[in-house]
Structure 1
Amino acid sequence: MPRTDAPPKDLSAVRSLMRLWPYVRPVRTRLASAAFVAVVASCLGLVFPLVLKWIVDGPVADRDTGGVWLGAFMLLGLGIAEAVLFGLRRWLVARPLAGVEAAMRTDLYRHLQRLPVAFHDRWASGQLLSRGTTDLMLLRMFLAFPLTFLLVNAVTILAGFIILLQQQWSLGLVLLAPVVPLVILCSLFETKYSKITRLSQDQVGDLTTVVEESVLGIRIIKGFGRHRSQARAFRELSQKLRGTELYKARLLASIWALIMTLPEVAIGAALVLGTVQVADGGLSAGTLVAFLSTALALRWPVESIGFLIAISQDAATATTRYFEVLDVAEETDTATTGEAAPDSSGLVFDGVEFHYPDAAPDAPPVLARIDLHIRSGETMALVGATGSGKTTLTALVPRLHEITGGRITLDGQDITLLSREQLRELVSVAFEEPTLFSASVGENVLMGDAGADDEALRRALSVAQAEFVHGLPAGTSTQVGEQGLSLSGGQRQRLALARAVVGQPRFLVLDDPLSALDVHTEALVEAALRQVLESTTALVVAHRPSTVMLADRVALLSEGRITAVGTHHELLRSNAEYAWLMSGADANAVEENA
């Protein structure tokens, strides 16, 4: 499926990575200490050649066995000290970086909960999952290794070349010759690698989406025998990702080959020139050994440049992808208390209009000039043909979508002047497609009111005719599993209804809450639900006459407009469209009987 993420921003790798500073700042002391320890450990490696020079020009030349042993112990001590320091560096960064990753993952999850529903409608879930898993793993890897060693290797190379130039400046200049071409090559490599890295990480998100959809939709796939087509779609995406990763590998291999070749050629040239100078007596053997040992010690810092740039670029792309989500504006709350308008108790839609955020500018509104007054304590049924906008209208009350015109009031209070927390304490909803979470039955129901007690839970289950839960293995403590797929559709819908009524809300919005129930269960639920509706103001989307009979009045929604309001019997006699929706009666016959 196509990606729905935002286009990448044109940021350099450094600017992207700098955005991590708020997360790194609390652990900056530990990271700085780790970097200092690593620099000291790396620079200890440059002392080895100096000890070798002393051994060759001193004890070896003088045939001093004791001096040779002393030099050997010095080298052993340096090696142990270097190993201990590198181990200390790893210990210093392990815990704080785990904390950084956890903090970033927590912030991402919190932010996702506060983003508008329109955002989640646009973005594929796999893209969000990959940002919270794969991308954060890349960032932790960058902070643990490349971030430190880009500094460590730069200091080591600088110190190493100072030592080389002091030992023999002419040979040092030979080794400096590859610097300019290496800088140019690394710049070209970074540009190409950044593009392919972004493509690769986006493809991982696409693949994650396919896997998630296949797992959640496994019943559909098996029921229609579509496992081969799904496997083929997965294989095609996998092949695209494989091709991208192979191209990344070729880029990395090419830059690594060049980075390794140029210094090796320079070291070879310096070896030849140094040997000639030793033969001519212009250079001591110890100095040549020390020079070449220093040059060889600098091989890893130089040759690792390509590897470190690659990981840094991966991390920069991951950072960009992470902040593409965090930069999306959260739902805003004005939370201003205003006075209620006179004579406007209940739920009122006043000139309400709605366009989807991603709709074309010239597209007609989904809802246009909705004027509807549901009196306090009244139940209003909302009826309309498929696609007329019923579900969209109900989603506006709890502000799952923001209206683009007009206003909605609850007992005279504009809902946009209430915080979402206040609003959702007043309004409870049950959707046609019930969503349950990987939790117990009781926990799923009590999401409707976290403060409800066991008696409220029992009462809600009774209203929803969901006593079947008492026959489950652990009763209300039974885990329902992901999406509640261990239950039938009717059972899930009854639990969703129980969740909506458990808190005895002042306003209740039900989107065809009984569509999955059999006739007998529906009758029982309706009988119990009538008692709940007597003490609340309710808007109920209905498709069947039995559900409509729960309501005091009925509103007919047609092509995004309220075209008629009345009782069920009034509309049956006077409105052809309503009669057709409820009974399939011929419109002309209705008009003749009117």
Structure 2
Amino acid sequence: MAENRHDDKTAGRGRRSTVRSLLRLWPYARAVRGRLAVSATAATLGMLTTLAVPVVLGRIVDGPVADHDSGALWPLVGLVLALGLIEAGLFYTRRVVLSRPLADLEARMRADLFGKLQRLPVAFHDRWGSGQLLSRAGSDLYVIRLFLAFALVFLVVNSLTFLAGAAVMFSLDWRLALIFLAPAVPLLLITRRFEGRYSDASRRAQDQNGDLATVVEESVLGIRILKAFGRHRSMADRFREQSRELRRTELRKAHLLANLWSVVTGLPELAVCCALAVGSYLVAHDQLSAGDLVTFLSTALALRFPVESLGWLLAYANEASTAADRVFEVLDTPEADDPGTRADLGTEPDGIRLTGVRFRYPDAPEDSPDLLAGVDLHIRSGETMALVGATGSGKTTLTALLPRLYEPTAGTITLDGRDIRELPRQRLRELVAVAFEEPTLFSATVRENVLMGAPDASEAQLRSALATAQAGFVDRLPEGAGTEVGEQGLSLSGGQRQRLALARAVVGDPAFLVLDDPLSALDVHTEALVERALREVLGSTTALVVAHRPSTVLLADRVAVLADGRIEAVGTHQELLRDCPHYRELMSGEAAPVPEGSSAR
């Protein structure tokens, strides 16, 4: 899905400007503009020393060589050696001056990109493949750094060098200079055509590389499933197919670049040959000295690098511009509104109130109904409300609305009378703690994973939370709470991960608690122990608990039944068993009897 979405975006992008895309990097490059200037100056001086060598060679031919004066030869030879050493020193300076600042620039861009990813809503991450985001934070930023370090500097340096070399050529003989510069017009036309084609191919390759990274990440994270169902070969086939697509695109890029290089290299060589023939004629007819011809030809050969490097410089510029486009696609994504001030709750304890709440996913088909079609629910302050409903009814989505992981399409949600949209997200998420059905742990210690729920919690609060979640297994780990749990906590069992996720939710004594089927991975004995400990926690907070089993429902003061996008009924467990057929069906697993005279839906 992600691959098609990005291909569509690329295909509909239209004509783009490489220069405009690269100029967007200026806010970052501004901090190193002085170092860039020093580097460009050093490189320019280095190239100018290269152009000085042909002039000295011309003086050698017209002077010591023509006069057979070996005594005058050695100082000029020493000058050539000195120019070579100066050139080497200047190029060393260029590299040293830029290395650290550009590494810092890349790190700053990566930090901004990562920070942006943390602030963007969950709906954004639902639409984007993780490999696409990883490739932007990795390879794309690396391409941008290399462009600033090499291609940008040499685009400036080579332009100045070419102008200086052209000036030297015109000072020697304007006829030979025009012959050498004749290919400039066709080269400009060819490179203009190359730029558009190579830019499209470069963007396609970078998107395909991101899609390939997604396949690799999914394969690694889902290796147990692939092996258990014997699907590793099909995933390998998918990887090979996407690798072939990327290979075809890279070969397309190489073909375009090879065509450009052949022209960029061939036309100047042809011009040099013509200049040599004409220059030899002029020397033979005493219209040009042999030394001037040597100087001209040596200068022309010295300009081969600035001309021939045009191909890879344009390639680098286009790759950097498409990399910049990909990075700024993320940085330009609008963030959801946030008040930004530390507003607090209302003074009257009113609990959680949902009024006319509607929701549909942004990428849902236009003709599909809303998942939540007008939810009205009031969870009184200090009350625990169980939320039950059939699979796919929207229970998990509703719980994600409370901490604003998603934004309601319509309606309002209030906490103690305060609209959650008026609360800064940081403050809202301090007030509302969540434990999801799928527990997610990070490559960190048990302590760090649990204290994500309350970074300032004490050791006593940590121990209390672990005790509530019946996570006594932590003490048996090699380093106790300081044990690393590995990527996604896969070194632990599903029940252990779920208990740590529950401990993370309750560690900070939250004012509002949202639990999405928090006991689904526990055995009956552990479930009973957790429920007993959890009752004490629920007694001091306002909670919404998604429940699928009667044992979990019994933790709640009241139960709400979600059906067809609305709250169908609210009451105690016993009241709903008596009065709500749908609830009886959900709790018993048996179809409710159809009243006589009515038709089943």
Contact conserved, 1:335 with 1:416, CA < 8 A, in 2?
Answer: no
In the aligned structure 1, how far is the partner of 2:218 from the partner of 2:566? 35
In the aligned structure 2, how far is the partner of 1:14 from the partner of 1:489? 52
Q: Give CA deviations for 1:273-314 in whole Å, capped at 9, x if unaligned.
A: 111111112111111111100010001100110110001100
Q: 1:58 aligns with which of 44, 58, 63?
A: 63
The residue number in structure 1 matching 2:313 is 308
Matched, 1:459 2:464: yes
Q: Give CA deviations for 1:362-408 in whole Å, capped at 9, x if unaligned.
A: 43211121111111110000000000010010000000001121111
In the aligned structure 2, how far is the partner of 1:408 from the partner of 1:173? 76
In the aligned structure 2, how far is the partner of 1:148 from the partner of 1:302? 15
Correspondence list, 1:91-130, <5 A: 91-130=96-135
The residue number in structure 2 matching 1:207 is 212
The residue number in structure 1 matching 2:440 is 435
The residue number in structure 1 matching 2:9 is 7
Matched, 1:513 2:539: no
In the aligned structure 1, how far is the partner of 2:201 from the partner of 2:279? 43
Contact conserved, 1:438 with 1:481, CA < 8 A, in 2?
Answer: yes
Contact conserved, 2:343 with 2:424, CA < 8 A, in 1?
Answer: no
Correspondence list, 1:455-534, <5 A: 455-534=460-539
Q: Give CA deviations for 1:485-507 in whole Å, capped at 9, x if unaligned.
A: 11111100000000000001010
In the aligned structure 2, how far is the partner of 1:336 from the partner of 1:406? 23
Contact conserved, 1:339 with 1:412, CA < 8 A, in 2?
Answer: no
SS of the residue 1:551 aligns to: coil
The residue number in structure 2 matching 1:68 is 73
The residue number in structure 2 matching 1:238 is 243
The residue number in structure 1 matching 2:233 is 228
- 1:226 CA drift (Å): 1.1
- 1:169 CA drift (Å): 0.9
RMSD: 1.6
Contact conserved, 1:193 with 1:310, CA < 8 A, in 2?
Answer: yes
Aligned residues: 592
The residue number in structure 1 matching 2:425 is 420
Contact conserved, 2:198 with 2:256, CA < 8 A, in 1?
Answer: yes
Correspondence list, 1:349-428, <5 A: 349-428=354-433
Query: Structure 1 residues 167 and 196 mapped into 2: Cα distance closer, same or farther (>3 Å)?
Result: same
- 1:358 CA drift (Å): 2.3
The residue number in structure 2 matching 1:147 is 152
Q: 2:92 aligns with which of 79, 87, 92?
A: 87
- 1:84 CA drift (Å): 0.3
Q: Give CA deviations for 1:152-190 in whole Å, capped at 9, x if unaligned.
A: 000111110111011011111100110100000100110
The residue number in structure 2 matching 1:552 is 557
Correspondence list, 1:569-588, <5 A: 569-588=574-593
* Amino acid aligned to 1:270: A
SS of the residue 1:588 aligns to: coil
* Amino acid aligned to 2:230: G
* Amino acid aligned to 1:140: R
In the aligned structure 2, how far is the partner of 1:225 from the partner of 1:404? 42
- 1:585 CA drift (Å): 3.7
- 1:590 CA drift (Å): 9.1
Gaps of 5+ in 2: none
The residue number in structure 2 matching 1:537 is 542
Gaps of 5+ in 1: none
The residue number in structure 1 matching 2:322 is 317
Contact conserved, 1:379 with 1:539, CA < 8 A, in 2?
Answer: yes
* Amino acid aligned to 1:493: Q
- 1:338 CA drift (Å): 7.5
The residue number in structure 1 matching 2:35 is 30
* Amino acid aligned to 1:54: R
In the aligned structure 2, how far is the partner of 1:82 from the partner of 1:295? 18
SS of the residue 1:527 aligns to: helix
SS of the residue 2:453 aligns to: coil
- 1:335 CA drift (Å): 4.7
In the aligned structure 2, how far is the partner of 1:340 from the partner of 1:204? 47
The residue number in structure 1 matching 2:141 is 136
Query: Structure 1 residues 534 and 344 mapped into 2: Cα distance closer, same or farther (>3 Å)?
Result: closer
Matched, 1:298 2:303: yes
SS of the residue 2:560 aligns to: strand
In the aligned structure 1, how far is the partner of 2:440 from the partner of 2:519? 14
In the aligned structure 2, how far is the partner of 1:261 from the partner of 1:549? 83
Contact conserved, 2:347 with 2:416, CA < 8 A, in 1?
Answer: no
The residue number in structure 1 matching 2:279 is 274
Contact conserved, 1:576 with 1:591, CA < 8 A, in 2?
Answer: no
TM-score normalised by L of structure 1: 0.98
SS of the residue 1:513 aligns to: coil
In the aligned structure 1, how far is the partner of 2:343 from the partner of 2:85? 72
- 1:591 CA drift (Å): 9.3
* Amino acid aligned to 1:508: L
Query: Structure 1 residues 586 and 26 mapped into 2: Cα distance closer, same or farther (>3 Å)?
Result: closer
SS of the residue 1:456 aligns to: helix
SS of the residue 1:538 aligns to: strand
- 1:341 CA drift (Å): 7.1
- 1:511 CA drift (Å): 0.4
SS of the residue 1:133 aligns to: helix
Contact conserved, 1:353 with 1:403, CA < 8 A, in 2?
Answer: yes
Task: Name the stretch that deviates more: 340-349 or 221-230.
Answer: 340-349
Contact conserved, 2:403 with 2:432, CA < 8 A, in 1?
Answer: yes
Contact conserved, 2:420 with 2:428, CA < 8 A, in 1?
Answer: yes
Task: Name the stretch that deviates more: 484-493 or 335-344.
Answer: 335-344
SS of the residue 1:206 aligns to: helix
SS of the residue 2:259 aligns to: helix
Contact conserved, 2:441 with 2:449, CA < 8 A, in 1?
Answer: yes
Q: Give CA deviations for 1:69-104 in whole Å, capped at 9, x if unaligned.
A: 111100000000001001101111111100110000
In the aligned structure 2, how far is the partner of 1:231 from the partner of 1:355? 35
TM-score normalised by L of structure 2: 0.96
In the aligned structure 1, how far is the partner of 2:537 from the partner of 2:64? 99
* Amino acid aligned to 2:174: W
* Amino acid aligned to 1:349: L
Identity of aligned residues (%): 62
The residue number in structure 2 matching 1:566 is 571
Contact conserved, 1:37 with 1:88, CA < 8 A, in 2?
Answer: yes
The residue number in structure 1 matching 2:258 is 253
SS of the residue 1:150 aligns to: helix
Contact conserved, 1:573 with 1:590, CA < 8 A, in 2?
Answer: no
In the aligned structure 2, how far is the partner of 1:73 from the partner of 1:339? 79
In the aligned structure 2, how far is the partner of 1:450 from the partner of 1:590? 54
Query: Structure 1 residues 546 and 175 mapped into 2: Cα distance closer, same or farther (>3 Å)?
Result: same
In the aligned structure 2, how far is the partner of 1:338 from the partner of 1:206? 42
Contact conserved, 1:408 with 1:414, CA < 8 A, in 2?
Answer: yes
In the aligned structure 1, how far is the partner of 2:278 from the partner of 2:495? 86
In the aligned structure 2, how far is the partner of 1:338 from the partner of 1:55? 82
SS of the residue 2:393 aligns to: coil
Contact conserved, 1:472 with 1:478, CA < 8 A, in 2?
Answer: yes
* Amino acid aligned to 2:387: L
Query: Structure 1 residues 339 and 491 mapped into 2: Cα distance closer, same or farther (>3 Å)?
Result: closer
In the aligned structure 2, how far is the partner of 1:374 from the partner of 1:254? 70
Q: Give CA deviations for 1:226-277 in whole Å, capped at 9, x if unaligned.
A: 1111111101111111111111111101100010000000000110111111
- 1:481 CA drift (Å): 0.4
